[in-house]
Amino acid sequence: MDLQHQRTLVTGGHGFLGRHLLEQLRVRGCRNILAPKSTECDLLDADAVNDLLERERPQVVFHLAARVGGIGANQRRPGTFAYQNLVMGTHLIEACRRAGVNKFIHAGTICSYPKLTPVPFKETDFWNGYPEETNAPYGLAKKMLTVLLQAYRQEFGFRGVTLLLTNLYGPGDNFDPETSHVIPALIRRCLEAKERGEPSISVWGTGKATREFLYVEDAARALILGAERLDDPQPVNVGTGKEIAIYELARLIAEKTEYRGELRFDAAKPDGQPRRCLDITRAGAILGFSPTVTLQEGLERTINWYRRAS
């Protein structure tokens, strides 16, 4: 599919990943792009979504809009995360089917994998159990959208695909201490503690859990490749294929922010899923995707961006 000549709708286009996707679409020569804000089209309102699709008639839709957050946010608002993610995606998929959209690209999540999936996570293990409890409502809501796309492919021939994105980070990330994920949270804590001369900072969990992190620009590029090349309703992993323990990540961020204080790991707080690391073989074979930004380089770019922005 040549995206340059497609009328394209991006939900969540003003969010963290969405802004980077819009930028890369424009660099590729795409000019006919729609990216309504939530105030312009509330995806929780089925009538508003139907009106948007009937009025604008996009040919390609990237669904990035989501209610997301770290472990704490997921624990405080599990019902909100489950309901809003499921309803937004369901309304949009049905409206796209009715409007005759040619291709639907769903930004799925690694949180949908079963809690004890063998590492590295293979797509064949995606259906083999219940997600880790602290983010299960969010992960299951996103997973159900993959099921819905597969059902619509079978019944209606609707072309929907899912890319399972690992943990993202980069410039423009959410640094709100109440809802941020681990990398922006640690960057902010280290920089603020350094400025205040604080002797230590607290880090959630034991530090033993591992995570995989993908630079946001690489994720945006993968989504475009998914629109251009993917036509398999089975989900495809998108990541780096490399994991890092949270205690190693925290020390790396402290080093790069030049914070010299003590890192205190709070074992009373949950670790979340024990390990996360994707097998990205299919992404390479089907999409021709491989990550280009290392964690070291990506962290430096993110820290420099936050320093300028704060």
The residues carrying an active-site annotation are 138
The conformational region for residue 38 under phi > 0 = left, psi -120 to 50 = alpha, else beta, is alpha
Cite the beta strand spans of 12-102 per DSSP E: 33-34, 60-63
The radius of gyration of the chain's CA atoms, rounded to the nearest angstrom, is 19
Q: Are 224 and 265 within 8 A, CB to CB?
A: no
Q: What is the C-alpha to C-alpha distance for residues 64 and 108, in angstroms, rounded to an integer?
A: 9
Report how far residue 27's alpha carbon sits from residue 35's, in angstroms, rounded to the nearest whole number: 16
Q: How far apart are CA 231 and CA 186, in angstroms?
A: 38
Quickly tell me which residue has 């770290």 as its tokens: 70
